[in-house]
């Protein structure tokens, strides 16, 4: 599969496809969050989460963004994307919003894409790379892909909720 993939910089004409990939890849994540929190809390705490993520994708792909966005093509079809940012002062680069379409997950595309992102960060002079992900079961595939790309150690973070 990977031998038929290529990676390139985002072009404005790609945005609609990136939104479709984001929606498909994150649907199980948002569903998991709603199950974990319960409908009462999720209805408030996650009311705008999917729209906010869509807005984030628009911002990072927009003119004037400080992030670089790459797309992975399998043949003529975009199957994944990855945003990266560089803090030239601290020399820390970050892999930001990224996704592999569910039809192409589990085939090594994510790990391959992260290696390309890491090469980009190295070439930009970064000395450390970070990536953030969830600790819930729906993020297990992402954690495996990040670990496969050499990420670790991790600092756990917990978000807790309650009804007021």
Please report, for the chain, the start and end positions of each structural domain, with discontinuous segments joined by +.
2-148
Span 29-47, average pLDDT: 96
pLDDT bucket at 2, cuts 50 / 70 / 90: confident
Centroid of chain to Cα 30? 14
User: At residue 3, does pLDDT exceed 80?
Assistant: no
Chain mean pLDDT for the chain: 95
List pLDDT tens digits, range 134-150.
Answer: 999 999 999 999 999 99
CATH architecture for segment(s) 2-148: 3-Layer(aba) Sandwich (3.40)
Q: How far apart are CA 57 and CA 159, in angstroms?
A: 23
Q: How far apart are CA 141 and CA 103, in angstroms?
A: 14
Instruction: Answer yes or no: pTM beyond 0.85.
Output: yes
φ and ψ at 116, to 5 degrees? -65, -40
pLDDT bucket at 102, cuts 50 / 70 / 90: very high
Cis peptide, bond prior to residue 59, ω within 30 of zero: no
Span 22-40, average pLDDT: 96
């Amino acid at each position: 599969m990977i031998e038929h993939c290529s990676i390139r910089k985002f072009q404005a004409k790609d945005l609609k496809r990136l939104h479709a990939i984001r929606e498909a890849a994150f649907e199980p994540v948002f569903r998991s969050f709603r199950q974990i929190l319960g409908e009462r809390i999720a209805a408030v705490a996650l009311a705008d989460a999917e729209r906010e993520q869509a807005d984030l994708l628009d911002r990072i792909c927009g003119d004037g963004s400080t992030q670089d966005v790459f797309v992975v093509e399998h043949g003529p079809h975009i199957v994944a994307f990855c945003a990266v940012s560089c803090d030239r002062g601290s020399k820390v680069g970050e892999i930001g919003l990224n996704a592999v379409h569910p039809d192409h997950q589990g085939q090594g595309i994510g790990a391959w894409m992260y290696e390309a992102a890491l090469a980009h960060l190295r070439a930009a002079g970064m000395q450390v790379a970070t990536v953030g992900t969830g600790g819930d079961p729906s993020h297990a595939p992402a954690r495996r892909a990040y670990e496969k790309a050499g990420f670790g150690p991790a600092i756990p973070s917990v978000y807790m909720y309650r009804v007021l």
